[in-house]
Amino acid sequence: MKFMIFAFLSILCVQEYVDASESIVPYDPNSNQTSHCYSTVGDIGAMKEGEEKRLAHVCALANCKPSRDIIIEGCGAAVVQPPCRIGEGDLTKPYPDCCFEIICP
């Protein structure tokens, strides 16, 4: 029982918080594009319904929804307490593997 209490208190002391982000690029009904989804944001361009695109230069994924909106999922924010730290992500990997990592000794 003492071990369980110690383990619980240890977890409270370390407190890690990670939250993914999600953005919506709304469909533009005035667009002359014939593709299902289209955006000039970043390098998204034209997309088919249900298509996913990994965005270049950031760790994020764009997804074309049936509503013609584009949902962009990203790594979000992280809060860690020492001795833990936030390590850099690796943009050569696919999303979400490209996100930063939480490193604890």
Does pLDDT of 5 surpass 60?
no
Q: How confident is the model at residue 19 (pLDDT cuts 50, 70, 90)?
A: low
**Average pLDDT for the chain:** 82
Q: Residue 86: what pLDDT?
A: 94
SS3 99: coil
pLDDT above 90 covers a percentage of the chain that reads 56
Chain centre to alpha carbon of residue 99 = 7
SS (H, E, C) 27-43: CCCCCCCCCCEEECCCC
Q: Identify the helix (H) or strand (E) that includes residue 85.
A: strand 85-87
Q: Residue 14: what pLDDT?
A: 39
Task: Give me the residue spans of the domains in the chain.
Answer: 17-103
